[in-house]
């Protein structure tokens, strides 16, 4: 479950550098290269799935979602609040086709902020 062309697979494998926030057997979380908010962390499954609708097994989906709370706590936004975004395919401007969860926070947001 590794796509040799995929930059997030390369990040998971350590072939492309990243700033790690959290990891376990199932997921890897790292800082977004171009943060849209003071807190902007990405969480990916270690296995390659193109998007959230790409047949992710239940257990891997659970691990991906469980990591959201871990990351929010580690980044200090669990209480103040945060937003979770999963862009999927072209209309949502998904640019990296390895499913990833954006965890955004650290400042007041409204409906148009951030626009990812
Ligand atoms: P999306 O538009 O939802 O596909 O989001 C892709 C995200 O990946 C963007 O927010 C990019 O800034 C981020 N990104 C792309 N390349 C890297 C990288 N090498 N390290 C960290 N974040 C990246
Ligand atoms: Zn991948």
38 has pLDDT over 80: yes
The predicted model gives 40-55 an average pLDDT of 98
Atom of ligand 1 nearest to the CA of 116: 2
**Ligand 1 neighbour 18 (Cβ under 6 A):** yes
Read off the pTM: 0.97
**Ligand 1 neighbour 16 (Cβ under 6 A):** yes
Give the distance (Å) from ligand 2 centre to CA of residue 57: 16
The pLDDT confidence band at residue 110, using thresholds 50, 70 and 90, is: confident
Strand pairing class (101-105; 39-45)? antiparallel
The predicted model gives 76-93 an average pLDDT of 97
The shares of helix, strand and coil residues in the chain, as percent rounded to the nearest 5, are: 20, 25, 55
30 has pLDDT over 90: yes
At residue 2, the pLDDT reads: 86
100 a catalytic residue: yes
């Amino acid at each position: 479950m590794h796509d040799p062309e995929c930059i997030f697979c390369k990040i998971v494998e350590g072939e492309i550098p990243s700033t790690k926030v959290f990891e376990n057997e199932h997921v890897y979380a790292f800082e977004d290269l171009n943060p849209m908010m003071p807190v902007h962390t990405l969480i990916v499954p270690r296995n390659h799935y193109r998007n959230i609708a790409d047949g992710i097994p239940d257990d891997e989906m659970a691990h991906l979602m469980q990591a959201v709370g871990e990351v929010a706590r580690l980044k200090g936004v669990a209480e103040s609040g945060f937003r979770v975004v999963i862009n999927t395919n072209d209309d949502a401007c998904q640019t990296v086709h390895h499913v990833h969860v954006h965890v955004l926070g650290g400042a007041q947001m409204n409906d148009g902020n951030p626009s990812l």
